[in-house]
Amino acid sequence: PNRTLPPLPGLKLAPHRELEQAQQRGRLKCSSCGGSWMFFCYTCCSLVGVSQQEIPSVKLPIKIDIIKHPSEVDGKSTAIHAKILAPDDVTIYTYPCIPEYEDDTDKVVLVFPGPGSVSVEEMTWRLQNLADMKSAASPDEEPSPKRPRAEETPEAT
Ligand SMILES: [Zn+2]
C-alpha cells in the first residue's frame, strides 16, 4: 500500500463555529431527559445547545445497527456520534434488544472481532464469490445480478 495517500481522501470538514459558540456557553440541560451536556445528550442522542441546521447530516450507503453492551458507558461510546451525524441510517440498540435479521441474512454483515473474523476486503471477496456461485448454480433465476432489491432496506423499529 502507498503510505503517502491521505487516510480520508474524500473528507470534507464543515465549519465548526457553532461548536465553538456552544463550548463557550458550556453545559446545558437536555430538553428530553434534563441531563446536563455539552453539544449533545449521550442518553437521548439529541443535540444540546446546538441547532440541527448547523450540524452536517450524512447519508450512508448502508443501514447501521449498533448493538451496545448494557454496561457500556454512554459517555465513552462513539455510537452516539454516528447516530447524530447519520440519524436516518444509524439505530442504536442495547443488548438484549436486537432487531430480527432472519429474512435478510444475505444482506447483513456482523462487524465484531473474533477468531473467525475476516477483513472487510476478504468479506467483499467472499460475498462476490458466493453471489457468483449462486448465479452459476441457478441459471433459471433472474438474469440480472443487480436486482433492485438492494434498494430495499429493512425498517428499523
Ligand atoms: Zn437527554
Secondary structure string (H, E, C) spanning the chain: CCCCCCCCCCCCCCCCHHHHHHHHHCCEECCCCCCEECEECCCCCCEECCCHHHCCCCCCCCCEEEEECCCCCHHHCCHHHHHHHCCCCEEEEECCCCCCCHHHCCCCCCCCCCCCCCCHHHHHHHHHHHHHHHHHHCCCCCCCCCCHHHHCCCCCC
Distance (angstroms) between ligand 1 centre and the Cα of 153 equals 28
Ligand 1 centre and the CA of 69: distance in Å? 19
For residue 34, the CA-to-ligand 1 centroid distance in Å is 6
pLDDT in tens, the chain (157 residues): 555 667 788 888 888 888 899 999 999 999 999 999 999 998 898 999 998 888 889 999 999 999 999 999 888 888 999 999 999 999 999 999 999 988 887 788 888 889 989 988 888 888 888 888 888 876 655 555 544 444 444 554 4
CA 135 remoteness from chain centre: 30
Cα radius of gyration rounded to whole Å, the chain = 20
